[in-house]
Amino acid sequence: MKNWLSLGMVLWCFPAMAQLQFQSLQEVLRYADARAIGIQSADIGEQIASAEKNEAKSYLFPSASVSLGYNDNITLQPTLVPTQFLNPAAPEGTFEELTFGTKYLYSRGLQVQWDILNFQKLFAVKTADLALKESKITTEVNRYNVYNQLASTYYSVLLTQEATRIYEENLQITSSIFENVNEKYQKGIISEAERNQAEIQQLQSQRTLTQAKNNLNQLFIQLQSQLNTNESIIISDKPENFVLQDTTIQLTNPEVFLQEAAVKKYESVLKQTKALRLPSVSLVYQNNQNWATNDFMNFSDANKLPQQVFGAKVSLSGLLTPVTKQKIKQSEWQLQLQQTQLNNIKLVKQQEDQLLQLQLQQAADQLAKTKQILALQGQNDMHAENQYQGGIISLDQRLDKYDDLLTAQNNYLQSLADYTLAQYKIYIRQIDFQPK
């Protein structure tokens, strides 16, 4: 009874680790939309760009500031005043020391300014709006890159699982050969060198299988990192389950959208810079009130000194500044650079799509041939095993046939990897990454 209680306490203290189970690449991508750090970071960047757009729009509205002030004139500075100012009969050239002002001065002010016509701020709003659109496209580009990284790791897992299955079969073959050889060695039928050769082949199979399992564990850890999770992952899928029915690519690469957005943004930046030459018109209103008194916080006998100002001003500072011309030139070169990059990226991405389709066609042909060769080599290996067991062929001949099987397996795995790589890249290119 105590043992059962102890076991129950252990299970309660250490609950079963959560697991993620995926049966297709689509499930992995859906999970990544909500968890992958690359996509989450881009979403946050989009919110920052939205706030910057709102900030730019706020500069089009009047700005107001309120101020409150208090001064304690501890010592009022005396002033020399001609005596004749107070007494016309006083001698000329004489002065009398007088003190002006009050000890306490309180103030309150309101200042309002409204740029009713400011072309630079108007274009700044347009630029901020284009920057927000660019940020949204950046989110989709990040999603596109994350999808490619995840697909690469996902199918590396599937291929490694397939390789592990093959290597387990190889271990069974080499173990069977070694058992047979060791039995003959014990009877003195074959030499120690032949026995060692069979054992070496078995150890190589064990090493290859162990390395594949270690690679598989590393790939699962990499997939956890890309999905931003520490839950264990189980993938019940096979490479042959994923077959593209349509291999055409008709959608524009999201990186082209991003560069087009950059061109539009820099066109707006150029207009914004040229707006430095245009005049700006502002309205200004000030309402200030001061209270002067010699008694602290006594406003009943204080002198109230109000002031109101309303004005309008026209500014042409950018027109007369030599640096404006240089800023415009910089913006023009930046726009030309972005346009050049756009032309290049359109050509590069178009050629990448063409290469993908060619690679898929070539990989499909190679895979079909290597799969057929592997099947034939598997049959030959079985015949060789039967011949070896019947004493028709020697151990060296048996192991040579097994090496032929290993070569066919490696060619098959490489062809399968090439075909899978081309498939998932085309599949991801067929996803619409244009921001909604």
Mean pLDDT within 341-369: 95
Q: Are residues 225 and 159 in the same domain?
A: yes
Q: Which amino acid is at 253?
A: N
Q: Are residues 133 and 224 in the same domain?
A: yes
Q: Are residues 77 and 173 in the same domain?
A: no
Q: Are residues 366 and 260 in the same domain?
A: yes
Q: What is the DSSP letter of 59?
A: T
Cα distance between residue 246 and residue 429, in whole Å? 12
User: Which is more confidently placed, 368 or 86?
Assistant: 368
Residue 19: strand pairing partners: 232
User: What percent of the chain clears pLDDT 90, i.e. is strictly above it?
Assistant: 56
The contacts of residue 158 (CB under 8 Å, 6+ apart) are 235, 237, 238, 239, 420
Reply yes or no on whether the pLDDT at 221 is more than 50. Answer: yes
Which residue reads 């920052």 in tokens? Answer: 48
Whether 436 maps to a domain, the answer reads: no
Residue pair 284/65 in contact (Cβ under 8 Å)? The answer is: no
Q: Are residues 177 and 50 in the same domain?
A: yes
Reply yes or no on whether the pLDDT at 325 is more than 80. Answer: yes
Mean pLDDT within 407-433: 95
Q: Degrees (nearest 5) of the Cα angle 267, 269, 274?
A: 100
Whether 249 maps to a domain, the answer reads: yes
Q: Are residues 95 and 219 in the same domain?
A: no
pLDDT digits (tens, 9 = 90+) for 113-139: 888 888 888 888 999 999 999 999 999
pLDDT digits (tens, 9 = 90+) for 265-322: 999 999 988 888 888 888 899 999 888 888 777 777 777 888 898 988 888 776 667 7
Which domain-ending residue is among 290, 315, 340? Answer: 315
Q: Which long-range contacts (CB under 8 A, 24 or more apart) does 403-409 make?
A: 404/377, 404/380, 405/170, 405/377, 405/378, 405/380, 405/381, 406/170, 407/377, 408/370, 408/373, 408/374, 408/376, 408/377, 408/378, 409/166, 409/170, 409/374
pLDDT digits (tens, 9 = 90+) for 360-412: 999 999 999 999 999 999 999 999 989 988 889 888 898 999 999 999 999 99
Cα distance between residue 384 and residue 397, in whole Å? 8
Q: Are residues 156 and 128 in the same domain?
A: yes
Measured CA to CA in angstroms, residue 302 lies from 107, 150, 290, 299, 307 at distances of 12, 76, 9, 5, 16
- For the chain, what is the mean pLDDT? 88
Q: Which domain holds residue 264?
A: 18-60+118-279+317-429
Q: Are residues 132 and 203 in the same domain?
A: yes
Q: Are residues 107 and 245 in the same domain?
A: no
Which residue reads 């991801």 in tokens? Answer: 428
Q: What is the DSSP letter of 84?
A: G
The contacts of residue 196 (CB under 8 Å, 6+ apart) are none
Whether 10 maps to a domain, the answer reads: no
- Computed from CA positions of residues 181, 382, 415, 141, in that sequence, does the dihedral angle turn out positive or negative? negative
Q: How confident is the model at residue 9 (pLDDT cuts 50, 70, 90)?
A: very low
Structural tokens at position 157: 């897992």
CATH number, position 353: 1.20.1600.10
Torsion angles phi and psi, residue 22, rounded to 5: -120, 140
Q: Are residues 155 and 232 in the same domain?
A: yes
Q: Are residues 304 and 323 in the same domain?
A: no
| Number of independent structural domains in the chain | 2
Residue pair 239/158 in contact (Cβ under 8 Å)? The answer is: yes
Torsion angles phi and psi, residue 314, rounded to 5: -115, 130
Give the pLDDT confidence score for residue 320 in this predicted structure.
60
Residue pair 275/317 in contact (Cβ under 8 Å)? The answer is: no
pTM: 0.81
The contacts of residue 335 (CB under 8 Å, 6+ apart) are 263, 266, 267, 269, 270
Residue pair 83/95 in contact (Cβ under 8 Å)? The answer is: yes
Whether 206 maps to a domain, the answer reads: yes
User: Nearest 10 degrees: CA dihedral of 86, 90, 94, 99?
Assistant: -20
Cα distance between residue 371 and residue 412, in whole Å? 6
Give the DSSP H/E element, type plus range, for residue 280. strand 280-293
pLDDT digits (tens, 9 = 90+) for 260-275: 999 999 999 999 888 8
Whether 65 maps to a domain, the answer reads: no
Cα distance between residue 238 and residue 236, in whole Å? 7
Cα distance between residue 319 and residue 103, in whole Å? 48
Give the pLDDT confidence score for residue 403 in this predicted structure.
92
Residue 235: strand pairing partners: 22
Which domain-ending residue is among 299, 315, 331? Answer: 315
Q: Are residues 211 and 335 in the same domain?
A: yes
